[in-house]
Amino acid sequence: MLSFDGIILIASSQGIHRRWRLGDGVLHSLELSDPRSGRAWIRPSEAPAIAPPPGCGCPPWSATWTAVTEAPPWEGPAERGTLTVLGGDGRGWRLHLTLPDEAPALTCRLELLGTTAAASGEAGQAEGSSGIETDGAAVGSLPVHDLCERLTLATRHVDLLAVELLDQSDVRGTPVHERRWRSYPSERIAVTTAVAALEDTTGGAGLVLVRHAPPPHARRWHPGPDVILWRRELCLRGHGCGGTSQGWAWSVVVHGDGAHGRAAALHALSRARRRRVPGREGRLITNTWGDRNKDGRISEAFLVAEAAAAAALGADAMQIDAGWQQGIDSNSVANTGQGVWQGFWAADPDFWTVHRQRLPRGLAPIAAAARAHNIDLGLWFAPDSSGDLANWQRDAEVHRQLGAEHGIAHWKFDALKLHNRAAELRFSQLIEALWRGSDGRAWLDLDITAEDRPGFLGADPLGCLFVQNRYTDWASWWPHETLRTLWELAWWVPPQRLRVEFLNPARNRARYGDDPLAPVRYPLDWPLATTLVANPLGWFEASGLEPGFRDAVASLVRVWKEQRDGLHGGTILPLGARPGGASTCGFLAMGGGAAHLLIFREPLASAAPCVIGLPSAAPTSGWQRLAGGGVVFADGAGVRVEGLASPGWGWWRCG
């Protein structure tokens, strides 16, 4: 329920209850609670709680509530509304609220009216330690403008967990960075972060603030800090309008059941912001770029052979990376200094036409081969970032034409550069055009491996996030590291949103020497198995695979396709110890009346029986093995794993 009576604003569902008072042109928090547990998180406060940047109107104030019936086509079911507050000078602000039906969360976004905001308000200051004891009186200040949230907590006994989800995996190997503080009255914690989680360590309850924006390093117009915790005051600051009238969305999430409950609540929020499209999620694609021939082998004969080989593996789509287009990009083997990584339309008006020498008959024969093998054809594309994506409509027309001519509905976006909020908003328009122009059939892999891009939280109505480039040529692909990346991210991002690679382990064996974690040390189906809870990427030339690896992949893909609707249809949670080469870990998927359990034992882990703890709602018995090895039995609040080799893996279903 969303309602406003002229003074009191209420947002209430089965999962979350919030209440504010409007006064002096800003909102003041009165209630924030979890209806399922009855847990009250805040006390009423007279301090501004949701307040725009300075210069957004002056008294007298008027307020109007509007129920919103038209929903973005990519969002799940929810109640929506807007609160518009105008000052006597015609300036003001509008708060957009979305209350999902199936997530314990409320999402808000600020829009400025009659003005724009160039930067965030002051963060407030606090004095350092002088060694002089005081009676505990307040020292310093908290921000009063440009506030998304200011919550006066009902308890002081909480931990603050600040989480950065870092993209740019070309230069980073650890995507999740966590910092923890214990709330202490004299410590003013100010941190720039994407996610701030409060934990009641005595009972497992939690509250999470999520900013749906690019990661901090990619939003330089909002330098932070984002979150301030001081005494009992928790602030999320910075609407992020950045010279425009449109701010970032943010969400408040409540949960129980500790870390697993938090992950489940965040996954539910993600599904509410980008609903599941049947048949488009949990798809295996192949892409030849992983074998490092770049675009040097692009030809009609090669791609027709790749379509047949991809289909033999059981792939859902074959993706042609850079090189199908006439223009020369910076990574092309043909680049002798003229290749570009932005400004594509200025470099060559025919940049996005089909390469006349490599593919003289165009894409038609390759598209026909893909159709004959019952797989989709996907293409690499780089949105033109010049002029803050000023050419986004021309880019959208390329997608429309190729979709109409060849049925292209699967795209990989690369080379994107978002240097300000205006570029972000234009990129959102490009995504929306792609979605609407295909009636939701188009699927997008957004490469977030480099530059300033939306990251893990900044572009929800997409298909998958292309997480990392890894290559055996550089000895940068390690199966246990791929598992670790997915496992760490799964605490914060649904695996169903991630594109995760597995490579041809037979290539470049000498580069790994006798390393016990080298790709060849694993069972042939192990690397693919680690990606099954996500969207697998066959990062290789499928036509060049050795028969043993090809057959192992195809055999497992057949089982996966029979089970993937159930596997991907629910919530997927990480289990066990953090992967690192010597762990036993895995994933639990629950939903649709069944549960799936995938357990991975890494090469340096003990092969002795072990117990894996499960969330409280998970079944512990009745597991039937689908693939891999080992057996599992109920053991207290988890399962006992026996007979699993090192390295080895197993997949079980219950229900």
In a domain, 132, yes or no: no
The verdict on 307 and 350 lying in the same domain is yes
The verdict on 159 and 68 lying in the same domain is yes
In DSSP terms, which residues pair with 67 in a beta bridge?
81
What was the pLDDT predicted at 140?
Answer: 53
The verdict on 334 and 244 lying in the same domain is no
In a domain, 597, yes or no: no
DSSP-derived 3-state class of residue 578: coil
Number of domains the chain contains = 2
In a domain, 355, yes or no: yes
In a domain, 599, yes or no: no
pLDDT in tens, 508-526: 999 999 999 999 999 999 9
The verdict on 326 and 234 lying in the same domain is no
What was the pLDDT predicted at 201?
Answer: 85
DSSP-derived 3-state class of residue 422: helix
Q: What is the spatial distance between Cα 178 and Cα 72, in angstroms, rounded to a whole number?
A: 33
In a domain, 103, yes or no: yes
The verdict on 303 and 435 lying in the same domain is yes
The verdict on 308 and 345 lying in the same domain is yes
C-alpha to C-alpha distances, 614 to 9, 203, 204, 485, 650, nearest whole angstrom:
39, 17, 15, 20, 16
In a domain, 444, yes or no: yes
What letter would DSSP give residue 244?
A: B
Residue where a domain stops, chosen among 570, 597, 614: 570
Q: How large is the C-alpha radius of gyration of the chain?
A: 26
The verdict on 292 and 249 lying in the same domain is no
The verdict on 233 and 302 lying in the same domain is no
In a domain, 237, yes or no: yes
pLDDT in tens, 151-202: 999 998 999 999 999 999 999 999 999 999 999 988 999 999 989 999 998 8
What was the pLDDT predicted at 461?
Answer: 62
What was the pLDDT predicted at 115?
Answer: 87
The verdict on 440 and 550 lying in the same domain is yes
Question: 435 is in which domain, residue-wise?
Answer: 285-570
What was the pLDDT predicted at 139?
Answer: 46
The verdict on 207 and 184 lying in the same domain is yes
The verdict on 15 and 51 lying in the same domain is yes
CATH number of the domain residue 192 falls in: 2.70.98
What was the pLDDT predicted at 221?
Answer: 75
CATH number of the domain residue 528 falls in: 3.20.20.70
DSSP-derived 3-state class of residue 600: strand
Residue where a domain stops, chosen among 240, 273, 306: 273
Residue where a domain stops, chosen among 210, 239, 273: 273
The verdict on 170 and 27 lying in the same domain is yes
pLDDT < 70 regions, the chain: 118-140, 461
**Closest C-alpha among 537, 485, 451, 531 to residue 165:** 485
pLDDT in tens, 1-38: 999 999 999 999 999 999 999 999 999 999 999 999 99
In a domain, 654, yes or no: no
